A and B are shown apart, each in its own frame.
Chain A
Amino acid sequence: MAPFGMDYDRLSDERLMALAAKGDERAFGAVYDRYQHRLINYFHRMLWHDRERARDMLQDLFTKLARNPAGYDAARPFRTWIFSVANNMCKNAYRHQHVVKAAANHLRHAQGHEEPLHGAGVDHERFRRRLDEELDRLDPDHKATFVMRYHEDMAIKDIAAAFGCSEGTVKSRLFYTLKKLAERMKAFDPNAVHHGKA
């Protein structure tokens, strides 16, 4: 860091966006560097693990932000605001892909993915694949809530702010999502194996 330069790493997201609105390219670059990993992984999980689509969505989001940095609502924390924008983009993508993906899910389940476990150990790769499939079957809001909570480690209140709903709604969604997934993925329940219910 130059002796008289600004340490962008120490600035808050909101401060960086204020600088970016004034044309500070380095500030905008710092915001991108902070959020690009989290957002591209969010898009990857939300958009059927399509890596190219996730990259396009990330570029699209930040390009829109670059063209209008003043569009950020400074009254809201930047973290919740940007995930709210990302979630809305995913919803739009879902609307366009609803027909296609519904057919793909039907085909996937018709082929039968209920593979029996071998031994007491859990196959992590199979668990991951199965989890992703089950999440794709969920309602977009429930899926997004689950991903934000358990993959992005966001707090309940931040998720509520991103969705614009109450914390009770977020907790309810999480509860019913977990309950549904636990029921559908009984084969991976170690307790069930342990208790001889494989």
Chain B
Amino acid sequence: MPFTMERHERYDPEDIERLLQERPFDALLAEERAYVLRHLSGREEYEAMRALLSQVREDEHRRAPVQAGDEVRAQVLRAFRQEHRPQWRIWLNSLGNMLLPREGATMPLLRPALAIASLALLITVGLWVARHGGTDAAQPLAEAEAPQPKASHAPSPERPAASAPANAAAEPVRPQGAATAPAEARLEDIVRAEPVEQAHAVADGEPATTSLAQREPRDRPGTEAGPHRERAAIAATQSNAAAEGETQQVPGDAGPADAATRAGKTEARAAPPGTLAAMPQLLALMTTGW
């Protein structure tokens, strides 16, 4: 059998349909023709089938397609939405059914409106609670105010300058109400209280508890001045501990920062706790222009 270069193609022996589409009977290869003739009566039948196939394809191009219409699409998408409705919306609609059980002409309008209104109400309530409820968020960041037991203090009137020594022991223990006194007034009080506080001052490096132990026999709790002197001692101890820490951090360096620190230390010993003066480090930073 001669080998034909231009017809070098593979075909499926069962694929008569493809042959019908590709070539007329006269253009078939010998083996293709032999296969076709095994299933068809002859050339006429092959050509009749080939013509019918051509007419069917031509007719397909001529046919006007059938349109479904927009309402079918709308129905289908409505069914989809109904099936995939979010659960929260179902809950709100059931709430609407509970509140307004009678179905009326307005229900289809009220139900989504009820859902939206309920949601808006919840959001509003939530925002209000978040804003006004809970702890008071208006507190300043750095309020120099020591926690004071409220019951034992009465609001103290302005102290006269002559009674400074007698009041000095109680000076560090300031009632809570006086925490907002002007800084100048506090400074005066501190200066006045210095002689008494220096007597209680502990040298740098001594443990803070020593001063408290020393004061114990004199200032027993339960005496008239006991609670006040005890608090003063505690305050002084705190200021001394702060001073010690500062000394350890800045060992012996002379300079404006150091002088300010020492001044701050002195003030801290005399300064009432909870005030800015009671924090020498912070005061030193502010003085040096931090």
Contacts and interface: CB of A to CB of B under 8 A. Distances in A.
B150 to A, nearest CB: 58
Given A29-B77, A150-B57, A185 B52 contact: yes
B72 A36 contact: yes
B55 A59 contact: no
Interface string A74-99: 00000000000000000000000000
Contacts of B53: 150, 178
B8 interface: no
B203 interface: no
A58 B77 contact: no
Contacts of B10: none
Interface stretch (B78-86, B179-187, B260-268, B278-286): B78-86
Interface residues of A, number: 46
Contact of A131 (B14, B39, B59, B80): B59
Nearest to A186: B48
Q: Interface size bucket, B side?
A: 35 or more
Interface in A56-75: 58-59, 62-63, 66-67, 69
A191 B14 contact: no
Interface in B43-91: 44-45, 47-49, 51-53, 55-60, 62-63, 65-69, 72-73, 75-77, 79-81, 83-84
Given A36-B68, A191-B47, A127 B17 contact: no
Contacts of A164: none
Given A124-B62, A178-B17, A191 B52 contact: no
A58 B70 CA distance: 12
A190 B51 contact: yes
Interface stretch (A5-13, A105-113, A136-144, A167-175): A167-175
